A and B are shown apart, each in its own frame.
Chain A
Amino acid sequence: MAVLQYSSTKKGDITVIQIGGSLDAETAPKFAEKLQGEINKGSKKLLCDIHQLNYIASAGLGVFISMNALIRKKGGELRLSSMNAKTRKIFTLLGFINLFVVYGTMKEALEKF
């Protein structure tokens, strides 16, 4: 059974969601609820730190796409940081690497977001 871990913290006006494990068809629905909850609470800057994400399937990518669209409608944005090499290869191969704003590290993200 696939497992996804996530936790959230506030860093100034940025909501940081740290994600680890597998974001796939099993885990994506709950994770989408989590992000939607943060957006509904009024977060305008959602930063998903995905350094420890070791697997992402189309359902997982769909969460980032749909939640980014949702937060943009409310004047906010979802961005990613700390993408590991395996995830970067998938994003690159599938053509999504340049569609999302992706920071190299969380430190850089907190400075520039």
Chain B
Amino acid sequence: MAHGQTFAVEIARELKEADAAKKKISAYLKKKHTPDDVIANCELALYEVLVNIVEHGSDRFRSETISVTCEVDGKRVLMKVSNKGDQFDLTRTGLPDIVSHYRSGKNRGLGIYFVRTLMDEVNYSFNDKINVLELIKYAGSID
């Protein structure tokens, strides 16, 4: 639900929930008159982050929810994804060489590349077993 300038949602660790959260963020950004290409990048980056947590997060935290917030601040979209789990900083992982990846025929391993390419800034912090990822996208004409 939207609280003033901030949108917030909590989801279970399931792929269908990641899809639902992505659609809710998209609807929120539309209401905020965010340009379509910015919305497309934000919803895809968010989806990739959530899928990464769902598919690669430790089973020990399977019952823990994932928190997503989003706010539009001037010309900036800020999404925050918080999840309890083992420390994982996707800003420090190496990015694939796309041509090599394509030639190798790998069917997975592009999610983090998507996130870091689609967003202008990705910031990570870890406190008290909570991973917090900030995804920032700048746009020229958001009200």
Contact = CB atoms under 8 A, between A and B. Distances in A.
Interface of A: 1-2, 22, 24-26, 32, 55, 57-59, 61-63, 65-66, 68-70, 86, 89-90, 93-96, 99
B43 to A, nearest CB: 8
A69 B37 contact: no
Interface size range on B against A: 20 to 34
B90 interface: no
Interface in B29-75: 37, 40-41, 44, 47-48, 51, 54-55
Contact of A58 (B16, B18, B113): B113
B99 A25 contact: no
A62 B107 CA distance: 4
A63 B98 contact: no
A61 B110 contact: yes
A108 B47 CA distance: 34
Interface in B95-111: 98-99, 101-111
B118 A99 contact: no
Nearest to A2: B19
Nearest to A68: B105
B125 interface: no
A59 B104 CA distance: 15
B111 A94 contact: no
Q: Lowest 9 A-B CB distances belong to which pairs?
A: A69-B105, A66-B107, A62-B107, A58-B110, A58-B111, A25-B51, A95-B98, A99-B102, A26-B15
Interface string B1-40: 0000000000000011011000000000000000001001
